[in-house]
Amino acid sequence: ASGTAGAGEGPDNLAGVKRIIAVGSGKGGVGKSTVSANLAVSLAALGWRVGLVDADIFGPSIPLLFGAEGYRPKGAFIPLEAHGVKVMSIGFLVDPAKAVVWRGPMVTGALMQLVRDTQWGPLDALLIDLPPGTGDIQLSLSQRVALTGAVVVTTPQDLALIDVRKATNMFEAVKVPVLGMVENMATFVCPNCGTETDIFGHGGGEREAEAEGVPFLGRIPLTRAIRDASDNGRPIATDPASPEGKAYAAIAAELV
Ligand code: ADP
């Protein structure tokens, strides 16, 4: 399958890629990158060959999540392989401090290159961790990459839900099927007493998915283990027996 509209000369690095799935969110900080990283690891554990592009130019966190901050591909765009996933990040190539002052078309150009020029080899799925929001960069990328579908991430909070609807609408406007919604930071389970607290409200993501007529893929709790594992460069999904690992695996299973 040709991965991009108007792909240029040279070998098509997306020729062996079966599905391209964007992971988007209406706003930043809802856990889109954390979900992308863990979904990639869970899909790999289910036997898929998985690639992950970190296209979040405003805050490339995939290098940290995969413990690969120092990685610099030399010459050709060879992805890093970590935890069973082929990873390429804008953070491997450019200094994010410089990139944030680029104009939209430059950002889109750099991200297109990242998707198209990386030597992915055969993959069952390539996930793209998009920048947060629904601006011109997200829109151009969604139009120019032949996306199989999109996953949208939200928290149960009203503020996030208003914005996730914009993300769903954006994908629908460019005829990219929304594969489903993930509710992140659902319930907080106190590690000391086990009390469950719905810090950002309860069930908002599921209700929103229903209202928008898109599948609800599942919810991920707000836990310290997720944050710790992320900061240690080892997504929690690498521990499939953990409650969090099971939650990500259940969502991955919805996609295969
Ligand atoms: P985004 O990509 O939407 O900006 P991130 O994935 O970078 O968000 O997550 C923002 C912060 O929240 C990070 O510090 C991350 O470790 C933390 N985080 C994300 N999801 C969870 C969760 N379910 N439980 C605990 N911490 C989380």
ipTM: 0.99
Alpha carbon 173 to chain centroid, angstroms: 20
Tens-digit pLDDT profile for residues 230-252: 999 999 999 999 999 999 999 99
Q: Residue whose CA is closest, atom 19 of ligand 1?
A: 31
- Supply the pLDDT for residue 230: 95
Distance 98 CA to ligand 1 centre (A): 24
As a whole number, the mean pLDDT across the chain is 92
SS3 of residue 12 by DSSP: coil
* pLDDT of the residue at 150: 98
Neighbours of 79 (CB within 10 A): 22
Helical residues (DSSP H) of 57-192, grouped into ranges:
62-65, 90-93, 96-99, 104-117, 136-144, 158-173
Domains of the chain: 20-255 (3.40.50.300)
Please report the pLDDT score of residue 215 as a whole number: 97
Q: Are 7 and 115 in contact (CB under 8 A)?
A: no
Whether residue 28 is annotated as binding a ligand: the answer is: yes
Top pLDDT among 94 and 153 is at: 153
Atom number in ligand 1 closest to CA 185: 23
Percent of the chain predicted with pLDDT > 90: 77
pLDDT band at 1 (very low <50, low <70, confident <90, very high): very low
Residue 9 confidence (pLDDT): 53
Q: Is residue 28 within 6 Å of ligand 1 at its C-beta?
A: yes
* Best residue among 230, 232, 236, 242 to mutate for probing ligand 1, ranked by most atoms within 8 Å of CB: 230
pLDDT band at 58 (very low <50, low <70, confident <90, very high): confident
In contact, 124 and 19? CB cutoff 8 Å: yes
Give yes or no for residue 136 having a pLDDT over 60.
yes
Average pLDDT over residues 202-209: 93
Q: Confirm whether residue 84 is marked as ligand binding.
A: no
pLDDT for 5: 44
Flag whether pLDDT at 51 surpasses 80.
yes
pTM of the model as a whole: 0.94
Mean pLDDT over 206-223 rounds to 96
The pLDDT of residue 6:
45
Q: Using a 6 Å cutoff on CB, does residue 154 contact ligand 1?
A: no
* Six-digit token string for 64: 């940290």
What mean pLDDT comes out for the span 6-35?
87
Which residue(s) pair with 150 in the sheet? 22, 178
pLDDT reported for residue 2: 47
Q: Whose CA is nearest to atom 23 of ligand 1?
A: 222
pLDDT at residue 7 tops 50: no
Q: What does DSSP say about strands 149-154 and 216-222: parallel, antiparallel, or unpaired?
A: unpaired
DSSP 77: B
CB 230 less than 6 A from any atom of ligand 1? yes
